[in-house]
Amino acid sequence: MDPLDRLGRPLRDLRISVTDRCNFRCTYCMPKEIFGRDYAFLPRDQVL
């Protein structure tokens, strides 16, 4: 059985977005010493 969206349409494609903001904040890829509260992330209009 194919998965369906809320309108009953079959899901055939998967779209993902890659941004500069990670909600996991792991110490491996986003250490606090570099990515503190004042870090200048990309402006919203420049995120793909």
Q: How far apart are the two ends of the chain, measured CA to CA in Å?
A: 33
DSSP per-residue letters across 3-46: -B-TTSPBP--------S--SS--TTTS-TTTS-TT--PPPGGG
The structural domain count of the chain equals 1
Q: pLDDT (tens digit, 9 = 90+) per residue, 2-33?
A: 899 999 999 988 888 777 666 677 777 788 88
User: Would you say residue 48 lies in a domain?
Assistant: no
Q: What is the DSSP letter of 48?
A: -
pTM: 0.36
Residue 7 carries which side chain, given as an amino acid letter?
A: L
User: Would you say residue 12 lies in a domain?
Assistant: yes
Residue 6 carries which side chain, given as an amino acid letter?
A: R
Q: Which domain holds residue 8?
A: 1-40
Q: Which residue has the higher pLDDT, 47 or 33?
A: 33
β-bridge partners, 10: 4
pLDDT at 9: 93
Q: Which residue has the higher pLDDT, 41 or 17?
A: 41
